[in-house]
Amino acid sequence: MAVGKEIRTKIGSIKNTQKITKAMEMVAASKMRRTQERMNATRPYARRMQRIIRHLAHAHPEYRHPYLLPRDGKRIGILLVSTDRGLCGGLNANLFRGLLRRMKQWEEYGCHLELSIIGQKGVSFFAGVGGRIVAQKTQLGDEPHLGDVIGVVKVLLDKYDAGELDQIHLVFNEFVNTMTQKPVIQKVLPIEVEELEDQLRHHWDYIYEPDAKEVLDDLLQRYVESIVFQGVVENKACEQAARMVAMKSASDNAGKFIDELQLLYNKARQASITQELSEIVSGAAAIQ
Amino acid sequence: MTIHVDIVSAEAEIFSGTAEMVFAPAELGEVGIAPRHAPFLSRLVPGEVRVKISADEQLPFYVSGGIIEVQPHVVTVLADTAVRAKDIDEAAALEAKRRAEEALRDRSGKIDYAKAQAELVEAVRQLQVLERYKKHKGRLEK
């Protein structure tokens, strides 16, 4: 029966698409579990590091590290963490939109902006809108290592050290839960800390080994790296979660589409049968 | 009197709890930290961090370097990598030691001398920590 051939082919092709999105959903789900575990594993380090920095900001050292001194200035370095691949819903788009809005505000204040970007999507987007990209790192893979991010961080830190930048901000997606990812713009440098409990108010300083400058340089560099790395790991978990959700809704939509087409096909088939029957019946009636 | 100790590496939390005393391989030599120690900040070199939980219970860890911060009631060890002494992979450490030594013998100048040396130090320290752990194991577990 030649009826509905087009519809049948269409159903077939949507079924194939659905198979792909289902497979991607499952892959993303298993990767998400792994990236989430990783994110939880790296959190304690970042938290302890932040505690030390909080203590440090309330010490009264003879050597003040430049990262801890407030700076006025309008040259801002932005470190953007994005994904390498697409098909993860509005994850990147939301992040970029938020950042663009902020960049516009900064520009209205007359700020000079420089971008350092992790992830292919961010690179191609901001190259398109004409951002000043000073460093980029793409193809991080599913298990990023601290060593992977050091390069892009160092470019900004060197500029900060040389006085070419006055602020550094980190932009990434924070993992709230599987359904929710929150775009975050976080100020990394200069370090600002809130007031602390009273016991640290009195005048004190660390004993440094070997000496204050060496230890603090080392510590603060690690601090920045750990913040950025935590951002990268969170963003990775967000990517997998967003992809899983996006692919799930794509599979669901495909399912709905198939149901509708199937209904249409059945109707067309029945209509043609009815038509044929009535033709036969009326033909027979004409003969009698 | 006890002091709170946190040992974390970039990839995991290794230990968190209270102790009587902590020993760590600071850059200028081993330090012992008792409760109410003055604030102290130092880099660590590869070696053993020992947490003395009570007079007859000690937990040894291997760290490959990092930072130690001491506040009167809390010690934080931020290690680059850290493992419990009993989890040290002896075969891997021996292999790393052998490779580093081989690299150092290579006089063709193609190798990164400093890197090989650092690797050798790490492997040797790991083996030392493990050796110590084995020697004291009977005593510690009584």
pLDDT reading at B116 higher than 80: no
Does the pLDDT at position B142 exceed 50?
A: no
Residue A218 has what pLDDT? Answer: 85
Question: Searching chain B, which residue's CA lies closest to the CA of residue A46?
Answer: B10
Which of B8, B13, B41 is opposite residue A215, by nearest beta carbon?
A: B41
Q: Do A219 and B41 lie within an 8 Å CB cutoff? A: yes
Which of B10, B39, B43 minimises the CB distance to A204? B39
Contacts of A216 in chain B (CB under 8 A): 41
pLDDT at A252: 94
Per DSSP, helices labelled H in chain A are: 5-57, 91-108, 120-128, 146-161, 212-287
Q: Phi and psi of A29, rounded to 5°?
A: -65, -45
pLDDT at A225: 87
CB A254 within 8 A of CB A14: yes
What pLDDT does residue A140 have? 83
Strands (E), chain B: 3-9, 12-19, 21-26, 29-33, 40-44, 47-54, 57-63, 66-71, 74-79, 82-84
Residue of A206, A210, A219 with shortest CB distance to B39: A206
State yes or no: pLDDT of B115 exceeds 80: no
Model pLDDT, residue A17: 93
Residue, of B58 and A259, whose pLDDT is higher? A259
Predicted structure pTM score: 0.81
Q: Cβ of B41 and A208 within 8 Å?
A: yes
Alpha-carbon distance of A115 to B5, in angstroms, equals 39
Q: What is the ipTM of this complex?
A: 0.79
A257 touches chain B (CB under 8 A): no
| Whole-angstrom distance, CA of residue A90 vs CA of residue A278 | 53
Are B33 and B7 a contacting pair, CB within 8 Å? Answer: no
What residues of chain A score a pLDDT lower than 50? Answer: none
pLDDT at position A264: 92
Most B CBs within 10 A among A38, A40, A45, A199, hence the mutation to make, goes to A45
For A16, A71, A132, A237, B129, the CA distances from A53, given in Å and listed in that order, are: 53, 18, 31, 26, 30
